[in-house]
Every structure is written in C-alpha cells, then in structure tokens.
Amino acid sequence: MNSERPTELHILKADLAFPESPRWHDGRLWVSDWGAQQVLTVDLEGRSEVVARVESLMCIHHLPDGRLLVVSSTERRLLRREPDGSLVTHSDLGALGEHPWNDLVVDGRGNAYVNNIGFDFPAGEFAPGFVALVSPDGIARQVADGLAFPNGMAVTPDNATLIVAESYGQRLTAFDIAGDGGLSNRRTWAEVDDHPDGICLDADGAIWYGDVGSRRCVRVREGGEVLQVIDLDRGCFACVLGGPDRRTLFMTVNQWSGAENMGGGRRMGQVLTAEAPARGIGWP
C-alpha cells in the first residue's frame, strides 16, 4: 500500500455548515450544504454561488442533459432543477419508503438510483435499507434490498455496474445493471476496515471513499487492496474527481459531533483538494 498523500492538501472552500454530495459538472464543483440547506457551485478559485435552496438533507447529481436532480429526504421526493432555476418533482418516493432517503447517482441513460437508509438515523433501531431506480420519466421502483446503511454510489462508464457503499456493512457492494435498469448478481466488490461514505470511481478501476470516523479518504481496488490513504483532521463525508483533466480529488470534510449538530450553527465544513494518481470517470 502507498499511504503517501497524492499531493499537498488545499482548502478550496471553508466556512460551510455541512458540505456533502460533491459533483463535478460543467467546469464547476457542485456541493450540497446540508446545514445551510443550499446547493452551491464552486469554481477552482473558490468563488461560490447558491443555485438552489431545499429545506432538507439533500444529495445531488446531474441528468445527461445537464439538469440537476436533488433528493429531498424530508419530502421523500426527487426534485429536478429546470433551466429557469425552478425546482419541480421528478419522482415521488414516498410510496417506496418513509425512512430517510440518502444518496443519488445517475447513469448515462438518465436512470437515477436513490437509496433509502431503512431506519430513522441516528436514533432509530437499525434496519436494512434498499436502492430504488427512477427511470427518466420519473417512475420509481425498488431494485435491491438488504443493504446495511447504503451510502455513496457509483456507476461504471459502460452503465453495466452499480457500486454501493454499505457504511454499516464495512464493504462496497456491486450489482450488474440490466437493460431496463434492474439490478442483479449482487457481490462484494471490496471489504474495508472502516465505514465508507461517499465514493467516486477512477480510470484505473479503483474507488475513492470518504470515512468520517477514521477521518480519512481511501483509495481501494476491487478485492479490497488499499492503494492510498489521505489522513485528515476531520471526517470525510464524500469525494469526487474533477477539474479540467479530472485528476483533482475534491473532498467534503467536517467535524462530526452528532446528527443533532448538523444545522448551520457550526461552520466547520470545508472542501479540500489534492492531486489524484488517476483521472475520474463515470457520469457526468
């Protein structure tokens, strides 16, 4: 294992309430600030702009045509940002699950995969979660279950494989994607020794994942070999590869002091950057 940092860490953006769900799109980083209940764009000089406001915990991803999808966990809806900036309902998820909806990934065909934690985190008794597929026309159906706190997700560029981080299962789990978007052939992609949160895929077939408790970002290959570890001074909730050549690793980090402190009072959240050994791939 090469445990050296890929390069010196830089703070791209500080003073965030609770940054999550980083995505690289259209030459900018898109970040959901849960504490401030905002979606921001951040350029490579750290200048930011608020592009949406949603009173909820929210993860984001873009459709192939560039429109933004936003998971509104509170409303149990998948929202779509139109070109004029308005938010409309892309899909009503309430009939599939009443517990918190979590992460989101969109494949190159416009299929959106959204996962549900399965219990009321953090106070509720643990129960397994599931993954729902939302087709481009907004129809939602469950396509996988029995996941131990499903979290970050990634789709391979050929739209053939979905990888899900199971935070409580301490593993990354893969599924084959069928032509209709359904999932099959569940298997362990990698077992890890911590609790993977948000993930991203690189051109060497490795996955970066954030870990909150261990305060690090980890690069791992299929089978579980750890390739690189970036130690941090606070928890890493998610990561994405972006920049002009997709070789910049963006990490959303924060001091974790419990779900009750996820509001906007403490602004210890940051977006960090580091040079990565392989470029990012996948959609968008």
Which positions ≥6 away from 93 have C-beta within 8 Å? 76, 77, 78, 101, 114, 116, 132, 134, 140
Output the pLDDT for position 256.
77
Output the pLDDT for position 121.
87
Domain coverage including residue 34 = 10-275
How many domains, the chain? Answer: 1
In a domain, 103, yes or no: yes
In a domain, 3, yes or no: no
Q: Is the pTM of this model over 0.85?
A: yes
In a domain, 29, yes or no: yes
Output the pLDDT for position 260.
53
Given the structure tokens 């500080």, which residue do they identify?
Answer: 14
In a domain, 189, yes or no: yes
Output the pLDDT for position 282.
73
Output the pLDDT for position 97.
95
In a domain, 257, yes or no: yes
In a domain, 235, yes or no: yes
Low-confidence ranges of the chain (pLDDT < 70): 1-7, 257-265, 283-284
Terminal Cα distance for the chain, rounded: 29
In a domain, 79, yes or no: yes
- CATH code where residue 269 lies: 2.120.10.30
**Residues 165, 158, 201: CA angle, nearest 5 degrees:** 35
Output the pLDDT for position 50.
97
In a domain, 283, yes or no: no
**Residues 158, 162, 166: CA angle, nearest 5 degrees:** 155
Output the pLDDT for position 262.
55
Output the pLDDT for position 3.
47
